[in-house]
Structure 1
Amino acid sequence: MEVKHCGDDDLPSCPDKSNDVFPGGVVSHERASDCEFENMEDSRDFGLLRDFEFCESNEFDEARLFSDFQRYEEQLEAISYHGLLDSLKYDIATPSIETCLKEIAGFGGISSDIRVECAAERSWALPLTTSLEILNRYKCGLKRMRDTRDGIRAHDLSTVDMIRIAGAKFIQSSTSRDANGNLSAHPYDYYLNGYPEEVKRNVRLAMTLFAAAEKVGAQKFEAAIEFLDQCDGLSSACGNSVERIVHHFSGALRERIDREKGTVSEKGLGRRLTLDIDAEIMKPSVPVLMTHQQIPFFQLQQLCTMQTIMENVAESKKVHVIDLGIRNGSQWVILMQVLAARQENPVELLKITAIGTFSPELIEGTGKRLEEFAEDLKLPFSFNIIMLSDMNDFREDLIGLQDNETVIVYAQFLLRSMIPHPDRLEFIMSVIKRINPIIMVVAEIDANLNSPVFVARFVDALLYYSAFFDSFEDCMKRDDENRKFTECVLFAKAIRTIVAAEGEERSERHVKLNVWRAFFHRYRMIEVGLGISSMNQVALMKNSLPCAKSCTLAMNGKSLVIGWKDTPICFLSTWKFPGTSEHDV
C-alpha cells in the first residue's frame, strides 16, 4: 500500500499547483426537475401545476399560494445556480409575520426582490408561517384523508404526514392568536377534531415545535424557551418517531438561542458536541454498518453504483478507481468479488486510489482490510493513499495514471462538504476534468438543506429527517442500540449544525440534484444514463426488502433518486466529460 502526502508543512513540499417503467416500479421522468415519486406529485415540478389536486378542506387558496411561492423559489434557485450553490449572498425583502397571517386566506403577492450583496453571510429572517407554505412543494398529500378522518388509524400516517398536518394546522391556528401574536392557551384542539388521539398528540407536539421555531426566528427567545420546555416534556429520544424528531430539533433550537444570546444553557449542548461525523462514518463501526444493513437507502445506492461501474469496465483488464473521500470501503467488496469471478477477459489489476484530507490511520485501516480481502480472492489489487492537507493540493500527477487503465472517479457524499468552500469545489472539478475519467459517479443527499433563510432551512430539515426517522421506526426496534447511536450521535450533530450554525460553522450542507446538475453543466459534463442491468438489479433488491412498499425509486432525468414514502433521500448520478468515447459509456 502506497501512501503519498501533499501539503503538510513537515513533509517535502509539492510542486506549485496550476491555477419509462422498469421492473419493480422504477418510474422514468425525462425532465430536469425534481423527481416525481410513485404516488407523489412534487409541487416544485412547476410545469405540472395543472396536474395538481389540492385539498378541498383547506381554508386558504393553495393554488394561489403555490403560484406565489413558485416565483419565490424559482428566483432563489436561479441565483443559487448562477452563484455556485451558496457562494453569493442575498438580501430578500420579506413580508412581516402579520402580513403573512392576514394573507393566508387569500394570499396576495409576496415580495421576492432579490439583490446580490457582498456582505458577510447572515441568517435571513423569513417568517415561519411563510416558510411553512414550502410544505406544499411536497404536495398536500392529505386528500386521501379529507373525508375519512374518523377511519384513520395512527399507523396509517407516516412521520412526514403528521409533520405536514402540523404545519397546515399551525398556519390555520394563527387566527387564535391575540393582538400581540401570542398563541392562546389551547390553540390547536379545534383544528384536530376527527383525528385519532395518538395522531392528535403527535401533531400538537409538532405544532408546539413550529411555535418555538417561529419565536426563535423572530428572536423572541423567552417565548421560544417556554414552547421548547413543553416540547421537552412531551418528547423523548426513545419514544415514537415524532417524539424523537421533536426531541432533537428542540435541542437544536436551544443551541441556536444559546449562540444568538452568547450563553450556554444546560440543554443547549450542541456546541460541546465535537464529533466529526465524516470521521465516525469512516470507521468500521458496528452501529454504522448495522444501520446501513437495516436501512435500504445506502444498500440500494451501493448496489447500483457497483453495477454501473462493472458495466463500464466489462472489457477492461486494468481498472483504476479514484475514490474521493473514501469511507469504510465496504462498497468495494462487491466490485472485488465480481471482478475476481470474471472468467472471460480476467482483470489484471484493480487499483483504488483513496484521496483523503484527515484521519490517515483510518484510511490505512480501510486499505489493509481491502488488501486482505483481495488476497483471499486471489485478485490482483493495489491500494494507494494520497493524503492532502487541503483539497486545493490535489493534482492529477499525484495519481500515477497509466495509459492502459480504465479510470473511474467516485464521489460519495464528498462534494457537499465543499459547498462552504466553492474555490475548493471549483478546483477539484478542474483536476477531474484533466483526468478525464470514463465516468464520474456521484452519490449525494437529495435535499435542500442549504438555504440561508433559517426558518426555510428548519422546515426542510425537519421534513427530511422526519422521513429518515420514519424509516428507522419501520425497519428497526425502538431500543436498538445501533439506532440510538445513529439518531442521538450522528443525526443529532447534523441537525444541530443545520439549525443552529451559520457561516462556515454550518458545515452540514446539502442541495438538490437539480442544483448539482446545473453545476456539472458548467463544465459541459454530460449526464450518462444508468444501464438497464443496474436498474433491474436495484429494483429486484428493493422488491426483496421487507420495506419494499415504503422505499421508492424514481428517475430524475438520467439519475436515480431513492426515497422513503414520497420523500427523496439520496441520488446516484453518472457523468462524463466531452470527448469520452461513446462506446466506453
Structure 2
Amino acid sequence: MEDYGDFNPFRDFEFCESNVFDEARVFSDFQRYDEQLEAASYCGFLDSLKYDIASPSIKTHLNEIVGLGGISTDIQEVECAAEKSWAPPLTTLLEILNQYKCGLRRMRDTREGIRADGLSTVDIIRIAGAKFIQSSTSRDADGNLSAHLYDYYLHGYPEEVKRNVRLGMTLLAAAEKVGDHKFVAAIEFLDQCDVLSSASGNSVERIVHHFSGALREKIDRETGTVSENGLGRRLTLDIEAEITKPSIPVLVTHQQIPFFQLQQLCTTQTIMENVTQSKKVHVIDLGIRNGSQWVILMQALAARQENPVELLKITAIGTFSPELIEETGKRLEEFAKDLKLPFSCNTITVSDMMDLREDHIGLQDDETVIVYSQFLLRSMIPHPDRLESIMSVIKQINPIMMVVAEIDANLNSPVFVTRFIDALLYYSAFFDSFEDCMKRDDENRKFTECVLFAKAIRTIVAAKGEERSQRHVKLNVWRAFFHRYRMAEVDLGISSTSQVALAKNSLPCAKSCTVEMNGKSLVIGWKDTPICFLSAWKFEGTSEHDI
C-alpha cells in the first residue's frame, strides 16, 4: 500500500457485481516477404491501408479526411518504397478526417457564431486541413501561401481560432514539403511553427510543437544530418520501461484521464462476471506494466462474500527488466496481504515472446484461466512470427476468455503523409483531453506530453523499419486477425457496460468522453475520436457455459 500511496484510479467508482470507420481485412495468410526487400519484415501484415500508385501529396490525404470512402487492410508494398514512390489517388485528402467524425458538423458555415472554446483540438486541425486544401489553388510560384491569403481563407473566424488554424495550416504545409523531400522549404515552415507554438501553450500550440519536432527529426534522418533545432537520436528513453515502473507521472495521468480508467473498470467487471463460480482464478498478464490495473480486481475478489475465492494467481510476463517485473509482483503481493486475499504472483521474463512456452506458466487443472493483453499485441505488428508464436501459446492454454485492450487508431500506414495525419488527429484528441482534465502547469502532464508522447510521436512520424516501434491498427483489423485463429468475440456483459456508462457519467468530463459499442467490443473516445477499445475472445469450440 505504501508503494502505491493513495493511488487508486477507481476510487470514485462504486464496484458492484457504429461503426468506427470501415470494415477492415487482413492478409488471408501470413506472408513472408522477400529478404532482399528492405523493410520487408517491418511493414507487418496488419497495415490497414492499400493505395494505388500515384504522386505523393498531403492534399490528397487531407481530401480523404473530410470526404467519404472506405479503406481496406491489404498491404502489398514495402515501407521503403511507400514513403518515396507512391501515395493514394488524388481523390483522398479528406477521407482520413472523415474517420474522425467530430467537429465540422458543429460549425457548418456559421463562422460568426464560432467561439474559440467551442472547438476541440481535432476540430481546429480539421478546419486547418480543409482550408489548406482550399488554399492549394492560390499558392505563389514557390507553392507558398502568403499571409493575406491565410487571412482571406480564415475570414469571419474569431481571432484565437484564426491563430490556431493558421498554425495548423503551417504545420500541414511543412509536412507536405517533407513528403515531397523539399526539406529547405519545410524547415522555413517549421521555423514559423517554432515561433508560434510551445510545449506550454494551448493544446493546438502543444500538438504543433511536438509534431514540428517530429518533422525535424525526419528531415535529420533523411538527410543524415543533425540541425541546430533537430532532435536527432538524443532521446533514448525506453517508453515501455517507463510505464512499467510505478512512475508518479504515469500513475497521476492515469488517474485523471478517463480512457484507461474506464477500460480497466470494464476489464475487471467482465472478469468478475465470468469467474463467479470459480474458487481459483488465474490471470495471465501478457506484458505486465506497473500492476495498477489489478488493484480493483483484487479489491473486488477480496470483498466477494458468496463463493469466496481460494486463490487469485497472476502470472506476470515481460520481455525486459526482470527486476521491474519482480518489483511489480512484490507490490501486488503486499497489496493482497493487506486485503487478506489469498494470492500468488508468478513472474516470467523472456528475452523474446517467441521464447514463451506453455510449460513456463504452470497451469493447474482446477484453475479458471483468463489471458489479458494490454497494448502488447501492437508491439508485435512488425514481427508476424512473434504474433503467430504468442497466439499458438494462447491456443494451447485455451483460456475461458482472452481480454484484449488496444489503441483504436490507424498509425501503421507505410505512407508517410497518411501516417502523419492520422497521428496528428489521434494525438490532437489526446492533448485536448489533457487540456480539459489536467491543469496547464501540471508537471505530470508535462512529463507525459513532453517525454512519453513526444517520443511516441517522433517514432511514428520519423522512424522506419524496426525503429518504428509505435504501431497501432483499428479494432476491425484486430477483429479480422482473431477470426483467422478461429476465435469468437464474446459479449463483455450488460453489467460491465452498464458500470462503465455509470462511471463515465460521474466524471467531470462526461460530455466529452464517449463510450459506445462496436459489435461486442467497447470503444472509448474523446469528443467522438476513438482512443482505445476493449474486447473479449474465446476459441471456438469452448463450451458456452464455460464463459
TM-score when scaled to structure 1?
0.83
User: What is the rounded CA distance, in whole Å, between the counterparts of 2:145 and 2:158 in structure 1?
Assistant: 23
Does residue 424 of structure 2 align to residue 462 of structure 1?
yes
Instruction: Tell me which amino acid in the other structure corresponds to 1:458.
Output: F
SS at the partner of 1:268? Answer: coil
Determine what percentage of the aligned residue pairs are the same residue: 80
SS at the partner of 1:126? Answer: coil
Query: What are the Cα deviations for residues 51-107 of structure 1, in whole angstroms up to 9, with x where unaligned?
Result: xxxxxxxxxxxxxxxxxxxxxxxxxx5466766794359784114659969x99xx9
Query: What are the Cα deviations for residues 326-346 of structure 1, in whole angstroms up to 9, with x where unaligned?
Result: 001112111111111112211
Whether the 8 Å contact between 2:348 and 2:360 is mirrored in structure 1 is yes
SS at the partner of 2:233? Answer: helix
Q: Which residue in 2 is equivalent to 1:182?
A: 144
Q: Which residue in 1 is equivalent to 2:517?
A: 555
Q: Which residue in 2 is equivalent to 1:196?
A: 158
User: What is the rounded CA distance, in whole Å, between the counterparts of 2:413 and 2:451 in structure 1?
Assistant: 24
User: What is the rounded CA distance, in whole Å, between the counterparts of 2:298 and 2:166 in structure 1?
Assistant: 51
SS at the partner of 1:187? Answer: helix
Query: What are the Cα deviations for residues 289-310 of structure 1, in whole angstroms up to 9, with x where unaligned?
Result: 1111110001100100011011
Identify unmatched segments of 5+ residues in structure 2.
Answer: 1-17, 32-41
Instruction: Tell me which amino acid in the other structure corresponds to 2:520.
Output: K
Match of 1:217 among 162, 179, 192: 179
Give the paired residue count: 511
Shift in CA distance, 177/133, structure 1 to aligned 2, threshold 3 Å: farther
Whether the 8 Å contact between 2:310 and 2:342 is mirrored in structure 1 is yes
SS at the partner of 2:83? Answer: coil
User: What is the rounded CA distance, in whole Å, between the counterparts of 2:232 and 2:26 in structure 1?
Assistant: 31
Q: CA deviation at 1:567?
A: 0.1
Shift in CA distance, 270/321, structure 1 to aligned 2, threshold 3 Å: farther
Q: CA deviation at 1:385?
A: 0.9
Q: Which residue in 1 is equivalent to 2:87?
A: 126
Instruction: Tell me which amino acid in the other structure corresponds to 1:531.
Output: G
SS at the partner of 2:292? Answer: coil
Q: Which residue in 2 is equivalent to 1:249?
A: 211
Whether the 8 Å contact between 1:132 and 1:459 is mirrored in structure 2 is no
Q: CA deviation at 1:404?
A: 0.6
TM-score when scaled to structure 2?
0.88
SS at the partner of 1:271? Answer: coil
Q: CA deviation at 1:584?
A: 2.0
Shift in CA distance, 565/269, structure 1 to aligned 2, threshold 3 Å: same
User: What is the rounded CA distance, in whole Å, between the counterparts of 2:496 and 2:60 in structure 1?
Assistant: 47
Identify unmatched segments of 5+ residues in structure 1.
Answer: 1-28, 36-43, 47-76
User: What is the rounded CA distance, in whole Å, between the counterparts of 1:491 and 1:98 in structure 2?
Assistant: 23
Does residue 508 of structure 2 align to residue 546 of structure 1?
yes
Shift in CA distance, 460/118, structure 1 to aligned 2, threshold 3 Å: closer
Q: Which residue in 1 is equivalent to 2:53?
A: 93
Shift in CA distance, 83/398, structure 1 to aligned 2, threshold 3 Å: closer
Q: Which residue in 2 is equivalent to 1:55?
A: none
Match of 2:343 among 374, 381, 384: 381
Q: Which residue in 2 is equivalent to 1:116?
A: 76
Q: CA deviation at 1:373?
A: 1.1
Whether the 8 Å contact between 1:122 and 1:502 is mirrored in structure 2 is no
Q: Which residue in 1 is equivalent to 2:478?
A: 516
Q: Which residue in 2 is equivalent to 1:339?
A: 301
The answer to which structure, 1 or 2, has the higher relative contact order (CA under 8 A, 6+ apart) is 1
Q: CA deviation at 1:123?
A: 1.9
After the TM superposition, which of the residue ranges 249-258 and 90-99 deviates more from structure 2? Answer: 90-99
Q: Which residue in 1 is equivalent to 2:11?
A: none
SS at the partner of 1:319? Answer: strand
User: What is the rounded CA distance, in whole Å, between the counterparts of 1:83 and 1:231 in structure 2?
Assistant: 42
User: What is the rounded CA distance, in whole Å, between the counterparts of 1:373 and 1:115 in structure 2?
Assistant: 46
Shift in CA distance, 344/321, structure 1 to aligned 2, threshold 3 Å: same
Q: Which residue in 1 is equivalent to 2:271?
A: 309
Whether the 8 Å contact between 1:270 and 1:496 is mirrored in structure 2 is no
Does residue 383 of structure 2 align to residue 426 of structure 1?
no
Query: What are the Cα deviations for residues 130-179 of structure 1, in whole angstroms up to 9, with x where unaligned?
Result: 54542123347423322421121100000000000000000000111134
Superposed counterparts of 1:96-495, under 5 Å: 97=57, 116=76, 122-124=82-84, 125-126=86-87, 130-139=92-101, 141-495=103-457
User: What is the rounded CA distance, in whole Å, between the counterparts of 1:270 and 1:509 in structure 2?
Assistant: 21
Q: CA deviation at 1:272?
A: 1.2
Q: Which residue in 2 is equivalent to 1:50?
A: none
RMSD (Å) for aligned C-alpha atoms? 2.7
User: What is the rounded CA distance, in whole Å, between the counterparts of 1:350 and 1:96 in structure 2?
Assistant: 54
Query: What are the Cα deviations for residues 538-577 of structure 1, in whole angstroms up to 9, with x where unaligned?
Result: 1111000000000000101100000000100000000000
Superposed counterparts of 1:49-60, under 5 Å: none
Whether the 8 Å contact between 1:436 and 1:577 is mirrored in structure 2 is yes
